[in-house]
Amino acid sequence: GINAEYGVRKEIGFAIRNIHGVRSGLFTPDAAFEMTVKRQIETLAPPSMKCIQQVSTELHEVIMKCIDKIKNYPRLQAEIDNLVSSYLRECETTCREQIQQLVDVELSYINTNHDDFIGFNATAKDESVKDVQNAGAESQQPGRDTK
């Protein structure tokens, strides 16, 4: 929520100050922003892995309840348990790998040019549109010479 956003903004501010050192620069360093964003992306992996573990545990409990229904057939029960449990482990491993790949992909490139990103590019576009609009309005004012 608001506290998390404040924390991220504060972290970006610290990173910018650390990069600038005692001198202040003219532009906001991209490295500080990217470093902070990458830290935030990295925080997504542990809860995702925990979610996979919880889903896997719940599915295993459901499997055990289902297998319990056929306790009159112990060999069938053991075989179903073996097959379904090994398939569940394979799916869990695949899911973990895919989540890690997704996090790695997100860490590899921070797309600040995306329309959803509000940063320097969006602000620059807004300012250039305002400049064009203001120039057009000034040329249409009565009493102005349009030579």
User: 114: left (phi > 0), else alpha (psi -120 to 50), else beta?
Assistant: beta
Rounded to two decimals, what is the model's pTM?
0.61
- For residue 74 the two structure tokens come to 């112990």
Q: Which amino acid is at 77?
A: Q
- Which position has the token pair 């009493």? 143
Average pLDDT over residues 42-60: 96
- For residue 91 the two structure tokens come to 């799916």
Residue 112 three-state SS = coil
Average pLDDT over residues 35-62: 93
The model's pLDDT over 9-38, given as tens digits with 9 standing for 90+, comes to: 777 777 767 766 655 555 556 677 788 888
The model's pLDDT over 72-126, given as tens digits with 9 standing for 90+, comes to: 999 999 999 999 999 999 999 999 999 999 999 999 988 777 777 665 554 555 5
Lowest mean pLDDT among 6-10, 40-44, 69-73, 112-116: 112-116
Q: Which of 84, 108, 104, 100 minimizes the C-alpha distance to 52?
A: 100
